[in-house]
Amino acid sequence: MNPRSLLLAVCLGAAAFGPPAPGRLAPAALAVPDSGDAYAELVAQLDDAERELLVAEKAAEDDGERAKLRAERRALPKRFYARFAELADAGEGRALLWMASNQRAVTEDRDEVRAKLVELYGRLVREHRAQPWFEDVLAEMSGDAKTIGADDLEKLGEAALAGAEDANVRGATLYYVGAGLVSIDEKERGEAMFRRLRAELGSSMWAALLDPEAYAEEHLQIGKTVPEIERADTDGVAFKLSDYRGKVVMLDFWGDW
């Protein structure tokens, strides 16, 4: 599927059906866009190892062997973690996001998990805010709100906003940090983020996600001009929905669980 078609589908689907649940979805940045780079090769090796163990687990003839193979498969993130860390230290931001997404599989102590997540998200905010996949960072961070805690989540959000001129980065930050705060019963602080979002970017898609029914009534009716969408595809190439005006655009809604 063309990455641009996928992103158009996700954006329009979100506006029509309500705000996405913060975090816990597999970030698009963790997917392998193409071969030829060290991160893609490492992800492919991990996928191959997991697939091999899963096939063996299903073929195992007794419960003991199945349990052993299942334990090996669940330990894969710990086995590969140091290699992703090496890539992250070399400047590969996607490896940092992989580490954050798999931290609980590597560290059992809750306080250690929290401290490591704050460190990893801090690095992502400082070093990779301009990446086209930064929204995935914000979504994952929002999903980790309970572990990170309200104070550090808010600090990370403010760090992402500091000096950020890109409207999409600002909108996504305000939305996801607000959603994360609300999800851990910090409603007043979350609503403060939402108020900033409405005041600063009231006509944006991110503000629309706060009241999708009203937005759909005003903008997504038959005969209305489809709202503008500006994004980058999975290769980092910027595009706008208006680039396709006058052309047929296919929206393919799908999921992978």
- Is residue 129 within 8 Å of residue 160, measured between CB atoms? yes
Site of tokens 């193409």? 34
Query: Tens of pLDDT along 202-226?
Result: 888 898 889 877 777 777 788 888 7
3-class secondary structure, 173: helix
Count of alpha carbons within 13 angstroms of residue 137, beta-carbon side: 29
E strand or H helix that includes residue 118: helix 110-128
Query: Tens of pLDDT along 177-201?
Result: 999 999 999 999 999 999 999 999 9
| Of the candidates 4, 49, 46, 51, the residue with the CA atom closest to the CA atom of residue 28 | 4
In this predicted structure, what is the pLDDT of residue 212? Answer: 79
Local structure of residue 166 (DSSP, 8 states):
-
- Which amino acid, one-letter code, is at 117? L
In this predicted structure, what is the pLDDT of residue 30? Answer: 55
In this predicted structure, what is the pLDDT of residue 28? Answer: 52
In this predicted structure, what is the pLDDT of residue 16? Answer: 39
Instruction: Name the average pLDDT for the chain.
Output: 84
- Is residue 106 within 8 Å of residue 81, measured between CB atoms? yes
CB atoms within 10 A of CB 77: 19
| Of the candidates 257, 22, 3, the residue with the CA atom closest to the CA atom of residue 139 | 22
Spatial CB neighbours of 147, under 8 Å, sequence gap ≥ 6: 110, 113, 114, 117
- Say what the pTM is: 0.74
